[in-house]
A and B are shown apart, each in its own frame.
Chain A
Amino acid sequence: MSIEPFNRLVKLTARAFYDDFTTKGDNQSKSGRADNRGIAVVVLDALTRRQWVREENLAKDLKLHTKQLRRTLRFFEEEKLVTRDHRKETAKGAKIYSAAVAATADGHQTGREGEEKVKLHTHSYCCLDYAQIYDVVRYRMHRMKKKIKDELDDRNTIQEYICPNCKRRYTALDALRLVSPEDEYFHCENCNGELVAEGDKLAAEEMGDGDDNARRRRREKLRDMLQMFEEKLKPLMDQLNRVKDLTVPEFGTLQAWEVRANAAARSANGDANSNDPSKSSQAYNGTPMPFLGETKVEVAFSGVEDKGSNIKSENTSTPMKVLPPWMIRQGMVLTNEQRGEVKQESNIEGTSTAADLSEDKKSVDQKDDKNLQDEYFKAYYAALLQRQQEQEESIKVEQESFNTTEGSSRQVGMKAKREDYDNDERDENVEWEEARTTGNTSSTFKVDLNVEADASGDDEDDIDWEEG
């Protein structure tokens, strides 16, 4: 099950239909910022990189006003692209969500979770509804095409008839009065002349050139429209066909999703995540600590039944610990986005990975199980490199390298620094988003640094100094 073709579908849809969507009635309408066209695209794109997300957090990430975002989301809810959930939240409920977010390695608030003040008021969450998006887009395309075609074929138009003698006009609704017992034509009530259907040659002549030209121009316009439709929306059509037989990614309801994400996190926590800063959130969640120590590989399997084969291959061929499925998926997505750059950078030193990120829409066909492991490594190296750069930039290089093997508090500190770095470097929302995602993933993968240190040390000379 891959989410990537569906994300591409969402992105294409956003650009095809919601490109010029604006939220009206903004107070700032006098300034140039009032023109927020493209906001729909930004929001939808951001949602493709998330699962369930609290709307305030999304607004923060996108540097949008909450109201503006909410208006956009309400619009998408009406358009049936997005499902939303609102609930009055107790402190505990919020924590469950935060934990779930941390578990998906997707959330951006892992770092500040501690500071977040949870209040007892309504929070809104949103999430893409892929199954429905597929149906809605398909239906929309169908309706568009049908409408143009119907117009072109003169379908659903009421035929008009005209008497060539006295020019009297009739419509098909008069048909009952016009039939004659003698022959199979309609006859004029006035002069008993034989009526001709308007649009036939004779009628066209009678009507004169002007009218005929107008009709012909109209038909030409419609034909152009149909052609434009076919051309411009071909990528979207293709994507719909590609997605047709794939399993639709489902996150379920907010509650179900939280439960699943947390359960998966718990099963994986025992080994792989021993140094993960995000793990601290699990403690909030009341996961019994002794349980963590005892976790075995089998436990992880039970959490990830459907992805069993993927995990297995990864598990048996490397000393790496089992990762939960959502983590792998995130890794893959990112790796694909970084693919080109990553290869380059294993040789070249000192260029910024994040800067090279682009919102490319790669085709997803290339992804298969065999690649999984490679992908993972690439992501891992990319993460390593990035971390290295950050360390170079930071003043306490030595301290950093000294403390790599230490506890999570150190790494949380690093993460905060990374976020600052990101903020400085990128002002534009979209790219900043990407950068953030990368930053987070690297922090997730960082976990394995220690586990994998000796293995990677052989391939990468650069890393050696880190261990020393």
Chain B
Amino acid sequence: MFFHIVLERNMQLHPRHFGRDLRPKLVSKLMKDVEGTCSGRHGFIVAITGVENVGNGLIRDGTGFVTFPVKYQCVVFRPFKGEILEAVVTMVNKMGFFAEAGPVQIFVSNHLIPDDMEFQSGDMPNYTTSDGSVKIQKESEVRLKIIGTRVDATEIFCIGTIKDDFLGVISDPTS
């Protein structure tokens, strides 16, 4: 699920940036540092949408670096148990398949793939129904439901299922 929230971060800036462009430098550094990172609490920071407030800088003894407390608005993505996501399959093996929904990696184990889909090994390993009408392979798009998340301080990993109504392949790369 996506959220638009306000976060705060202490930015350290090298003295060479002190000048007319101090603020733009600060913002671009913030984007570089923060976008794409993940925190267990808020999820993945997808994009910064604005800087609310830059506080007074504090000069560090000895180094000349200055620390600015920056409040910024950003879009975060945090997967939840029970959430339905659309994801792209990245790898298929005998144990199941891996997929990605944006920055989130999801594993669907083979017992959470419908029983009528069988694993086919080969150059392009895949899960296929007996009549061949539905095929899950690399690059397939699937709709899945998250049934478990592992949230570490810097990482979120999910496991999902496609064994339920309206879940499964939504677009086939071959067709």
Contact = CB atoms under 8 A, between A and B. Distances in A.
Interface stretch (B34-42, B104-112, B134-142): B104-112
Interface string B99-124: 00000010101111000000001000
B98 A175 contact: yes
B164 A175 contact: no
B164 A155 contact: yes
Contacts of B125: 184
B95 interface: yes
Interface residues of A, number: 17
Interface residues of B, number: 22
Contact of B159 (A158, A185, A197): A158
B111 A154 contact: yes
A196 to B, nearest CB: 10
Contacts of A184: 93-95, 121, 125
Given A184-B95, A184-B125, A186-B95, A172 B148 contact: yes
A155 B161 CA distance: 8
A156 B147 contact: yes
Interface string A137-160: 000000000000000011111110
B97 to A, nearest CB: 10
Contacts of A197: 95, 109-111
Given A172-B159, A197-B95, 13 more contacts: A153-B163, A155-B164, A159-B111, A173-B157, A173-B159, A175-B95, A175-B96, A175-B107, A175-B109, A176-B98, A179-B91, A184-B94, A186-B95
Given A179-B91, A179-B93, A185-B93, A172 B163 contact: no
A170 to B, nearest CB: 11
B150 A173 contact: yes
A156 B144 CA distance: 12
Nearest to B164: A155
Given A156-B147, A184-B121, A185-B94, A176 B107 contact: yes
Nearest to B125: A184
Contact of B163 (A155, A173, A199): A155
B58 to A, nearest CB: 40
A158 B107 contact: no
